[in-house]
Structure 1
Amino acid sequence: MASRYLVFLFLLLSFTTLLISVVAEHDFVRSIDRKLLGLKKEKLSHFRFYWHDIVSGHNPTSIPVVPPPVNSTTAFGLLNMIDNPLTMGPKMSSKMVGRAQGFYASASQSEIGLLMAMNFAFIEGKYNGSTITVLGRNPVFNKVREMPVIGGSGLFRFARGYVEARTHWFAPNSGDAIVEYNVYVMHY
């Protein structure tokens, strides 16, 4: 009789432990209805603007934080922090719609290839205060470079998509550049 009682007690404790672990897992993650977060129908938007990388002059918007080694032909190891203007047209006098904030680093030993990590922080219209986050590889001498959109904030929560970058103008003497960005982003 005592052995039956011990077996029953063991099974009861095992079941209780299993039940507690299932409840604990449920507390860690749960499904929610996206409407509770205000997420309606997903849409695809296309943004086009110009990214001004100003490394020269008295007020640069891109500064080297880590210089490349002297003997590197590709500037491998360079790290620049950026707070670059985003404008509607290629001229700096065009209407500013936001800023590209983040960094780029020379990540290739065989070509000029950058790792780009930046937020497009918008200041215009209904997108004011929202950001689109880009993280990807940018082989700068390719005519068109494609990088992924990995997220965003504000109106771009749960964003995904890609950007296409095309050099509009580059000054080899100063290093200044203007790049046209076309952003294709899925968002709510």
Structure 2
Amino acid sequence: MVTSKMTKLSFIIMSLISIIASLKAHELGELKRSSMTLYFQDYFGGPNATMKPVTFSADAWSFKQFGTIFCTDDLITVAMDQGSAQVGRAQGIYVTSALDGSNTHVLISIVFTNEEFGGSTLEVQGASKQFEKVREVAVVGGTGTFRLARGYATFETVHLDMSLSYSVIEGNFTVWHY
């Protein structure tokens, strides 16, 4: 008798969970795939720096120095040229997290300001092998157009001018979202 009631109760609970899950999926719409290439205009020195160390453990900071934390607010454009159309900002932190300086932990919000995606975000997080030609990190979330995003991004430094403390980083994003 008790087993029969427990079986019926379990069936009712599982049915309710299934109904609620299908309602939530219906509210979100269909899962979509988006791919895009964006260019980060990065000034890592000088009076207009968009990336700065905020803490480090010795007299001088270095990208290779374990424990160094950088804060960033890079302009994002649709092409390599910094005068091309603006898409948004890359805002967040990098932490040199490997003792030998080979990995940086990335926590970046891609904050879209353009007309197409304005107000939406993509959240990027993970270990980046900072001295490799192409670095891959996870896209772990998003808002607005990219609600519940998941996927990956690759980053490659496509231009570097040490005299200006300036680089352009190409970001290729592939995400699934609702």
Is this a same-fold pair by TM over 0.5?
yes
Matching residue within 35, 46, 54 for 1:65:
54
Compute the RMSD of aligned alpha carbons. Answer: 2.7
- Provide the residue aligned with 1:84 in structure 2: 74
Cα distance between partner residues in 2 of 1:92 and 1:126: 19
Shift in Å, 1:71: 8.3
Identity %: 31
Cα distance between partner residues in 2 of 1:41 and 1:72: 46
Shift in Å, 1:31: 4.2
Judge conservation of contact 1:133–1:151 (CA < 8 Å) in 2: yes
Shift in Å, 1:125: 2.6
Residues 138, 32 of structure 1: CA spacing in aligned structure 2 closer, same or farther, 3 A cutoff? same
- Provide the residue aligned with 2:174 in structure 1: 184
- Provide the residue aligned with 2:30 in structure 1: 41
Cα distance between partner residues in 2 of 1:175 and 1:75: 18
- Provide the residue aligned with 1:163 in structure 2: 153
The one-letter amino acid of 2:48's match is N
Cα distance between partner residues in 2 of 1:110 and 1:72: 14
- Provide the residue aligned with 2:139 in structure 1: 149
Corresponding residue pairs, total: 165
Q: Which runs of 5+ in 1 are unaligned?
A: 1-18
- Provide the residue aligned with 1:12 in structure 2: none
Cα distance between partner residues in 2 of 1:59 and 1:172: 14
The one-letter amino acid of 1:58's match is P
Judge conservation of contact 1:69–1:77 (CA < 8 Å) in 2: no
Residues 184, 142 of structure 1: CA spacing in aligned structure 2 closer, same or farther, 3 A cutoff? same
- Provide the residue aligned with 1:104 in structure 2: 94
Higher strand share: 2
Q: Which moved more, 1:104-113 or 1:39-48?
A: 104-113
How does the TM-score come out when normalised to structure 2? 0.81
The one-letter amino acid of 2:53's match is P
SS of the equivalent of 2:98 reads: coil
Matching residue within 108, 127, 130 for 2:120:
130
Shift in Å, 1:183: 0.3
SS of the equivalent of 2:116 reads: helix
